[in-house]
Amino acid sequence: MATHPPASPVTSAPTPDWRSVKGIDAFLAVALIAVIAVCVRAIWFTPVDAMLGAAQKIFYVHVPAAIGGLYIACPLLAISSLGYLWIKDERLDRLAEASAEVGLLFMGLVLVTGPIWARTSWGTWWVWEARITSTVFLWLMVLGYLVLRGAVETPESRARLSAVMGGLAVLLVPFVHLTVRLFRGMHPGPVVLKPEAPSLPPEMLTTFLWANLAFLMLFFALLRIRFRWAGLRNAVTALETA
């Protein structure tokens, strides 16, 4: 057998953490139990809103999903993208990818739960209300971002090109929001009741706070899993191409 020349050492490959794929992730398990518990509490142990009826309960999912998908995932995507362009650290690229994926899921949850509520209280499935419209455009942007990631072959180019797009999102979000607000301002839609603003009865407030906590845990548990999964995938790619 002829000797093979020494292959270049794969020192810079991320060391995969195999624990994350063996068995059940403890953090995710806790988060899932918390989400289920909050749902149970919201459905059976929280009073029905006198004015809005049972449909109001959708907000125990809707608002936490919006907080995770819009207010955490999007800034995280933008910051880690810009950070990647700055220091070219592969972990930031994985963080951006994970934020986009989990963000897409949470924003999707917002977009699914929104119309259900709209149907029962406004009598129509879809309303071009400013917040919903902004969310739709952001959801589409994140979707485009993930499609771009899927279309670039080499890991370095993928990280760099998608970071350019993720970084531009910082500028896009305020512009979309401004545009949509201005647009709606000129054509007023139905009055939006924001259940988080008026003072809620204590029981509902407690459920609402627990729901936020549970969904936040779910958000970060999923983020952590996707982050690690991306690391494993990159390690496999590195082994295959080395």
Partner 1 sequence: MTDPATTAHRAPAFLADAWRIARKDLLIEFRTRSAFLAATVFAVLAVAIFRFTWDPTAIPAMDLAPGVLWVIFTFSGLLGLNRSFSLELAERAYDGLLASQVARESIFVGKVLANFVFVSAIQALAIPAVALFFGLEIGGAWGVLIGIVLLAALGLSAVGTLFAAIAANTRLAELLLPMMTLPFFVPLVIPAAQASSVVLRGLPLSSAMEWFKLLLAFDLMFVSACIVVFPFTIEE
Partner 2 sequence: MPIPHGTAATGVADSSANRSADGEGDVALVAEGLVRAFGARKAVNDVSLRLSDGECLALFGPNGAGKTTLLRLLGGLLRPTRGRTTLHGTLLPGPSATRRLVGLISHHAMLYPALTVRENVRFAAECQGVIDADAATTRVLQQLRVLDRAETAVRYLSRGLQQRVSISRALVHGPRLVLLDEPYTGLDEVGALVFTEALRELKASGATLVLITHNLTEGLMMGDRAAIMQDGRIVHEERAENGGFDLPRFQALYRNLVHEAIA
Identified binder of partner 1 from the candidate list 77, 105, 110, 138, rule CB under 8 A: 138
Footprint (CB under 8 A) of partner 2, residues 8-27: 8, 10-13
Footprint (CB under 8 A) of partner 2, residues 141-200: 154-156
Burial (Cβ within 10 Å: 0-12, 13-18, ≥19) of residue 227: buried
Helix axes 90-121, 74-87, angle to 10 degrees: 160
37 near partner 1, judged by CB under 8 A: no
User: In 3-state terms, what secondary structure has residue 192?
Assistant: coil
Footprint (CB under 8 A) of partner 1, residues 75-134: 85
Applying CB under 8 A, the span of 7-15, 76-84, 195-203, 205-213 interacting with partner 2 comes to: 7-15
Footprint (CB under 8 A) of partner 2, residues 223-242: 234, 237-238, 241-242
Closest CA to 35 of 53, 60, 4, 14: 60
Closest CA to 101 of 13, 166, 25: 166
Of partner 2, partner 1, none, which one does residue 238 interact with (CB within 5 to 8 Å by kind)?
partner 2
C-beta separation of 55 from 122 below 8 A: no
Comparison of 127 and 136: residue with beta carbon closer to partner 1 = 136
Burial (Cβ within 10 Å: 0-12, 13-18, ≥19) of residue 214: buried
Interface residues with partner 2 (CB under 8 A)?
2-5, 7-8, 10-13, 154-156, 234, 237-238, 241-242
